[in-house]
Amino acid sequence: MKPDPSATAARPPLARRRHLPALDGLRGVAIIGVLLFHTGNLDGGFLGVDLFFALSGYLITDLLLREIEATGRVSLIAFWGRRLRRLLPALAFVLICVTLTVWAVGPPQLVRTTLADGPWVQLNLVNWHLLAESAGYWDRFGSERVFEHLWSIAVEEQFYLVWPLLVALVALGGKRVGDCVALLAAVVSVASLVWMAVLVDPADPTRVYTGTDTRAFSLLLGALVATPRVRDLLGRVAGRAPRAVSAATMALLVGVGALWVLADGTASLWLYQGGLFAHALGCALLIGLCARSPEGLVSRVLSWEPLRWTGTVSYSLYLWHWPVIVLLSPETTGLSGWWWTALVCVVSTGLAVLSTHLVENPVRFRTSWATGRRGALAFVVIMAVLALLWTAVPAPAPPTVDITALD
């Protein structure tokens, strides 16, 4: 059966989404919070990860729904191909560079954990691997791992695999797709919150903090705000009461900032009983309001050029910062306090800039071989190289225990 030409012509082309500088600024705020947390300067800076999650949920869902509006369906292969081109090159580059560096200069235990964790990072399952190994995220005095921070990348990748598939299935119904997606996001978000409250262990909340099932709401609340009904509601409010919206956006920004100052990952049990949910919802609404009122005061503040620039390198900066922290620890460098923080930020940012401009952006924007069959072949080659890396790099022999000394 041939397609109806008139029906095809009636479909509008997929419009290019307007670039929103404020969202780049929010990425910059998120990575700065994470950097300050991991260098011991901001106890609640780990909440920057939730801001990243909400941004990802919002942007991906907006993209999927615009594609459905324009074409009536979701091209899953095309979507997953774009995600691979966006995320895999920089990740593979960091995995190879860091693994070889750790093997060359790292202590034996660090080499062992790096080679053990690497395959799970490659499979985007490292969060579950770390949980299976009982690696406590909040135990800063435990054995360090250079890839421990990539649990959040694994959560996002799992979301990118499952959520578009669910949205595509909803689109098969053909009616009120946006409302159905909003209902699905809301219901699963609440279920994820309840599951977190049920599973949380006050002594060590690692399971609920890094588990995909208990963190899904952070992504899905962003997805909810990207749906047409919520977007239109925010747009109408912004049009009718711009001053009230500006005040509300500022209040959300201040509230999120206050949580970053007050929260503690282990001492604040309220985070896992609704606090993280409230924070993610606040982040999602902040994103939505900035998108609907790009000329507002908060949007202009977040569009400040240094924040925007930091946001443009935030992905590579996130990938690099933790290995830099581990390899340039205070014990190794002899530095402490803000001097050590400055060193970590300078080195991490320098590596992130190189990674962004030499690896990430060229593959994402300027290479023709990264698409189609050649792109699929490149993906297979990269995965094979990584698999070879984990087996070819020799692991140090495990430490021996002198049983006679125990008598």
**Single-letter amino acid, residue 205:** P
Inter-residue long-range contacts of 302-305, CB under 8 Å, 24+ positions, other chains counted: 302/21, 302/22, 302/23, 302/25, 302/26, 302/29, 303/21, 303/22, 303/24, 303/25, 304/25
Q: What is the pTM of this model?
A: 0.92
CB-based contact 263:47 (threshold 8 Å): yes
Q: Is residue 12's pLDDT more than 60?
A: no
Residue from 292, 301, 350, 290 nearest 324 by CA: 350
Q: What length does the chain have?
A: 407
* Strand spans (E) along 88-246: none
Q: Which residues contact 283 (CB under 8 A, 6 or more apart)?
A: 50, 51, 54, 55, 221, 222, 256
Residues 353-387: pLDDT tens digits? 999 999 999 998 888 878 888 989 999 999 999 99
- Structural domain harbouring 236: 16-395
- Please give the average per-residue pLDDT across 159-166, as a whole number: 97
Q: What are the Cα distances from residue 32, in Å, to 190, 235, 271, 310, 347? A: 29, 29, 21, 8, 14
Cα(260)–Cα(30) distance, integer angstroms: 11
The total number of structural domains that make up the chain: 1
Residues 235-272: pLDDT tens digits? 888 778 888 888 989 999 999 999 999 998 888 899 99
CB-based contact 120:386 (threshold 8 Å): no
Cα(396)–Cα(103) distance, integer angstroms: 9
Two structure tokens written together for 328: 């340039």
**Single-letter amino acid, residue 365:** F
Tally helices (H) and strands (E) across the chain.
20, 0
* Secondary structure (DSSP) of 33-66: HHHHHHTTS-TTGGGHHHHHHHHHHHHHHHHHHH
Query: Is there a domain that residue 136 lies in?
Result: yes
Q: Of 179 and 243, which is predicted with more confidence?
A: 179
Residues 41-73: pLDDT tens digits? 999 999 999 999 999 999 999 999 999 999 999
Residue from 380, 293, 368 nearest 88 by CA: 380
Two structure tokens written together for 301: 């503040």
Residue from 135, 145, 149 nearest 326 by CA: 145
Residues 65-111: pLDDT tens digits? 999 999 999 999 999 999 999 999 999 999 999 999 999 999 999 99
Cα(141)–Cα(62) distance, integer angstroms: 41
Q: Place 9 in a pLDDT band, splitting at 50, 70 and 90.
A: very low
Q: What are phi and psi of 181, to 5 degrees?
A: -65, -40
Cα(146)–Cα(117) distance, integer angstroms: 9
Q: Place 407 in a pLDDT band, splitting at 50, 70 and 90.
A: low
Q: What is the average pLDDT value for the chain, to the nearest integer? A: 90
Query: Is there a domain that residue 375 lies in?
Result: yes
Query: Is there a domain that residue 71 lies in?
Result: yes
Query: Is there a domain that residue 403 lies in?
Result: no
Cα(275)–Cα(209) distance, integer angstroms: 12
Query: Is there a domain that residue 9 lies in?
Result: no
Cα(117)–Cα(125) distance, integer angstroms: 10
Query: Is there a domain that residue 7 lies in?
Result: no
